[in-house]
Amino acid sequence: MRIVVLGGGAVGAMVARRLAQERNDVVNVEQRLDRCELLEESLDAKIVHGNASSIRTLEQAGIGEAEMLIAVTSSDEANILGCLIAHRHSNVKIKVVRLRTHEVYRWKEIFESSRLKVDLVINPDQETAERILRVIGLPGISDVLEFAEGRVRLFGMNLEPDSWVVGKSMAELDRSSPPKNSLMAIIFRGRQTFIPRGGDRLQAGDHVYIVAPAAETESVFRFMGVPLPKQVERVFIVGGRQLGVEAALRLERQGVHVKLFENDLERCRKISTLVKSTVVVHGDGTDERVLIENAVEGVDAYLAVTPESEVNIIASLLSKRLGARKAVALVNRPDFLPLAQLLGINSSFSTRVAAVDRILQFVRQGHVLSVTTFREEEAEAIELLATPGSKYVGRSLREIRMPAGTVVGAIRRSSGEVLVPRGNTVIQSGDRVVFFCLESLVPYLESAFLKERRRGRR
249 plus 193 within the same structural domain = no
Report if residue 250 sits inside a domain: yes
More confident residue, 400 or 283: 283
Report if residue 127 sits inside a domain: no
The CATH number covering residue 117 comes to: 3.40.50.720
Report if residue 145 sits inside a domain: yes
187, containing H or E segment: strand 183-189
- Overall domain count for the chain: 4
Residue 376: predicted pLDDT = 66
The torsion of the CA quartet 163, 177, 192, 159, rounded to 10 degrees, works out to -20
Write phi, then psi, for 114 (nearest 5 degrees): -110, 175
Half-sphere exposure for 4 (CA within 13 Å, toward CB): 31
Number of other CB atoms surrounding residue 88 within 10 Å = 10
Q: What is the mean pLDDT of residues 323-348?
A: 84
In the sheet with 94-98, reading across from the earlier edge strand, the strands are 46-49, 25-30, 2-6, 68-71, 94-98, 120-122
- Give 80's pLDDT tier (boundaries 50, 70, 90): very high
Which one-letter DSSP state was computed for residue 149? G
159 plus 268 within the same structural domain = no
342 plus 384 within the same structural domain = no
- In terms of DSSP bridges, do strands 418-419 and 406-412 run parallel, antiparallel, or are they unpaired? antiparallel
12 plus 118 within the same structural domain = yes
Report if residue 72 sits inside a domain: yes
DSSP 302-354: EEE-SS-HHHHHHHHHHHHHTT-S-EEEE---GGGHHHHHHTT-SEEE-HHHH
Q: Given a cut of 70, is residue 419 above it in pLDDT? A: yes
The CATH number covering residue 211 comes to: 3.30.70.1450
Q: What is the mean pLDDT of residues 162-171?
A: 94
Report if residue 211 sits inside a domain: yes
Condensed to tens digits (0 to 9), the pLDDT of residues 362-401 reads: 886 557 778 788 876 678 888 888 887 777 788 888 888 7
Report if residue 237 sits inside a domain: yes
- Last residue in a domain, options 103, 122, 141: 122
42 plus 109 within the same structural domain = yes
28 plus 109 within the same structural domain = yes
One-letter identity of residue 377: E
52 plus 145 within the same structural domain = no
- Give 156's pLDDT tier (boundaries 50, 70, 90): very high
The b/e string for 403-413 (b: 16+ C-beta within 10 A; e otherwise) is eebbbbbbbbe
Q: Given a cut of 60, is residue 315 above it in pLDDT? A: yes
Burial (Cβ within 10 Å: 0-12, 13-18, ≥19) of residue 24? middle
325 plus 345 within the same structural domain = yes
Distance separating alpha carbons of residues 380 and 384, to the nearest angstrom: 12
- Last residue in a domain, options 324, 349, 374: 349
- Last residue in a domain, options 349, 380, 414: 349
Q: What is the mean pLDDT of residues 281-297?
A: 96
Q: Given a cut of 60, is residue 455 above it in pLDDT? A: no
Integer angstrom CA distances of residue 114 from 84, 102, 108, 109, 111: 11, 20, 10, 9, 5
Residue in 328, 269, 388, 315 with CA at minimum distance from that of residue 139 = 328
Q: Determine the structural domain holding residue 293 and report its residue range.
A: 232-349
Residue 366: predicted pLDDT = 55
Report if residue 440 sits inside a domain: yes
Which one-letter DSSP state was computed for residue 228? P
